[in-house]
Amino acid sequence: ACAPYWRLNFCNKNMEKKGANNFDRGNAKHKLLAEGCFAAKYEGPSIKTPYSKKAQNPGFGFTTSNELARNFAEIGDIVRGKNLYFGKKKKKKTETERDKIEKNLQKIFGDIYKELTKNEKKASEAQNRYKDTKNFYQLREDWWTANRETVWKAITCSADRGNAYFRQTCNDDGTSSRAIHQCRCQKKDGTHDSDQVPTYFDYVPQYLRWFEEWA
């Protein structure tokens, strides 16, 4: 699958910096979340302006909110090691952007794994669940599940009200309604999941999202 044009300029500089020498291993999970949110925060405005202009053209099939969801999903793929896009490669270098980011993320999740296994009570459980101690795919998946709401808030924090993911509709009594608080089913005890990310794009395989964009 060929990556969409916008993916060529996707902002992942913060994701590349995670392997810096001054990285605090004891604070790995918090540093990762902070850098992921910074990447998301600066990606949001880069989408808003050009897509707002394109949306004024007749026949343009995408909205800014959709593109925010797509970029959110790309961040999720990068964090979880599912990114298919190789990125640029500097002259006389064999390492691509994806290789560099992946190497840094493996190092960070290795540090997170070490922190988990330091706790005697959690060590056995962590070792049984995270048996892949090279790529840490399951640990990365769990990290994304726990933090995707925070990353979503970061990427949408500067979006205009008019680009909200949920549009207002009418209730049966004629009053306006938005489904933002109804995007997850209630549990049996009547409570809602804390995860209120209004998109599942990050769980759609990357190549299928790209196919849909090219269609």
Domain spans of the chain, in order of start: 5-214
Rounded average pLDDT over 42-65: 55
Three-state secondary structure of 38-97 = HHHHHHHHHHHHHHHHHCCCCCCCCCHHHHHHHHHHHHHHHHHCCCCCCCCCCCCCCCCH
CA dihedral (10, 11, 14, 16) positive or negative: positive
Predicted confidence at residue 21, as pLDDT, reads 45
Please choose, from the candidates 113, 114, 182, 195, the residue with its C-alpha nearest in 3D space to the C-alpha of residue 153. 195
> pLDDT tens for residues 133-144?
999 999 999 999
CA distances from 50 to 2, 55, 71, 197 (A): 21, 9, 14, 24
Question: How high is the pLDDT of residue 32?
Answer: 80
Label residue 126 by pLDDT band (50, 70, 90).
very high
CA 152-158-162 angle, to 5 degrees, is 95
CATH classification of 5-214 is 1.20.1310.20, yes or no?
yes
Task: Report how far residue 114's alpha carbon sits from residue 73's, in angstroms, rounded to the nearest whole number.
Answer: 27
Mean pLDDT of 120-125: 87
Nearest to 11 by CA among 55, 45, 54, 49: 45
- pLDDT tier for residue 183 given thresholds of 50, 70 and 90: very low
SS3 177: strand
- Per-residue pLDDT reduced to its tens digit, 88-101: 777 777 888 889 88
What's the rounded Cα separation, in Å, for the pair 155 and 70?
11
**More reliable by pLDDT, 202 or 195:** 202
Cβ proximity of 52 and 64 under 8 Å: yes
Average pLDDT value for residue range 198-210: 91
Residue 181 has pLDDT above 90, yes or no: no
> pTM of this prediction?
0.72
Q: 73-90: per-residue pLDDT in tens?
A: 999 999 999 998 887 777
